[in-house]
A and B are shown apart, each in its own frame.
Chain A
Amino acid sequence: MPPESSTTGRICCPATVISVKRLLRSTVAGLAVTLTASLAACGSGSGSGSEAGRPVTVFAAASLTESFTTLGDRFEAAHPGSTVTFNFGGSSALATQINEGAPADVFASAAPANMAAVTDAGTPATFARNQLVIAVGKGNPKGVTGLAALTGPRLKVALCAAAVPCGAAATTAIAAAGVTITPVTLEQDVKAALSKVRLGEVDAALVYRTDAKAAAADVDAIEFPESARAVNDYPIAVLTGARNTAGGQAFVDYVLSPEGLRVLTDAGFQAP
């Protein structure tokens, strides 16, 4: 079985990304558990002889969905013959999958903690920083101005689960603001939290500025001062168990290049 069949392909259409991505991700998670043994077995057997034709498999945080998709396209254009496939998801889930032997060459996490959890991450480099905003419905129908507005029972709020970077950042920011927010749901990644705002099921969610920007057609982003206390560093690394180390390194170099930085800052990331 070719390893790439167990990872998601490139997802390029933001409108449909939520459902398809989630579905594929849960499939991947299931496969990652059940097929650990077989993947580990076929991973060790193949040599490093024919890396040229092999795609680069990148596991990346959900908040990188749009910017890395763009980066992948540009990378392929700059390196004819190469292909990049992505598996986007919550950073903690990706870390677990990698530890269970999922065939990743590169891991880009939304927080250093999740990178640290990956045992065979090489030497991570920080390539971007991200900050939280309050995503609200278009036109801000509830008149949200800051974190304090989210405390009452009147508003339904979605947060990321504490285990994923956006959740950890939200916890830090909320603590910094000295308020208590009772969310109605703890979503498994930032895109899921955002989608609840897009669907109108919640009134507000704490998401990354980049995610709110990508969904600007549906949501408004409310900046709040406490987000400066919870800035996420995004580390990227080629994995030591990579089957396409050269390709992986080339992709990491591209992300760290000025051109890569431009794509990321266009998406709303801050430079490291």
Chain B
Amino acid sequence: MRKRRGGVPLPLLLPAAVGLIFLVLPLVGLLARTPWSSLLTRLAEPGVTQALRLSLWTSTLATLVCLVLGVPLAWLLARVEFPGRRLVRALITVPLVLPPVVGGIALLLALGRRGLVGSWLDSTFGITLPFTTAGVVIAEAFVALPFLVISVEGALRGADTRFEEAAATLGATRWVSFTHVTLPLVAPGIAAGAVLCWARALGEFGATITFAGNYPGITQTMPLAVYQTMESGDLEGAVVLSLILLVVSVTILAALRDKWLTAP
């Protein structure tokens, strides 16, 4: 008796396999070059823990900023008809296609010491954002926000608005419906968006180095530390740092996934 090969057509299976290899191969390359013996001593280096702590801290803060700003923005896009909504949606996706370095330059021109808003911040409050940890958070939030807005907007569009109507007939104002009905309904979408957002912020490099600069302990996040180590000719060190970043982020993502993303 002839057996069907699982019913998976070859024209799908082949590119899928190539795609998987394409994604996994660079990681294998990284692992193949890892000096396992010096891994632990590297991890204990103060510079490494400092950069790692800064990375985790800033990407978490950036995610919070994105949640506070992005969820209302997504709601507005999903629920309110207003002129220019398509334009706004297109604008929100700009940081997705913009090279992060360009994003960093744009941030400098807007929030830098001589920037549109930055010069006012400097002259009025004496606040300058570049070369500060706050600047890192801003750069990360800038590139990560679209991920959150897009996934939350998708979740909001997929959610049945009639639940909000039901809430209204029970006496809920629009704000209360949002907090008590809409938010819980789209919570999985928000969680997924936040995780994407956090991962993007954690890996952020271009906008950060351009806008926030590179100084250990203040603005040098893990990706910058990797880059600097690589630039100074220490490839082995760069590989180790990359691996640490990879392990930490994958561990956290896996933990979050179990907790949030695979609800029954």
Contacts and interface: CB of A to CB of B under 8 A. Distances in A.
B108 A199 contact: yes
Given A34-B29, A37-B29, A200-B112, A164 B231 contact: yes
Interface string A111-122: 000100100000
A158 B213 contact: yes
B233 A95 contact: yes
Q: What size tier do the contact residues of chain A reach?
A: 35 or more
Interface residues of B, number: 31
B215 A29 contact: no
A186 B220 CA distance: 9
B99 interface: yes
Interface string B207-220: 00110011110111
Interface in A169-198: 183-188, 196
Given A185-B213, A185-B219, A201 B112 contact: yes
A186 B233 CA distance: 16
A93 B227 CA distance: 9
A104 to B, nearest CB: 15
A161 B231 contact: yes
Contacts, number: 94
A93 B101 CA distance: 18
A112 to B, nearest CB: 14
A184 B131 contact: yes
B231 A90 contact: yes
Contacts of B231: 90, 92-93, 96, 161, 163-164, 188
A96 B213 CA distance: 22
A100 B230 CA distance: 11
B142 to A, nearest CB: 16
Interface of B: 26, 29, 99, 101-102, 105, 108-109, 112-114, 130-131, 205-206, 209-210, 213-216, 218-220, 227-228, 230-233, 235
8 contacts: A96-B235, A156-B131, A163-B233, A164-B231, A184-B131, A196-B213, A200-B114, A201-B108
Given A33-B230, A186-B214, A201-B131, 11 more contacts: A19-B102, A26-B227, A92-B231, A96-B230, A156-B131, A163-B233, A188-B209, A188-B227, A188-B228, A199-B112, A201-B213
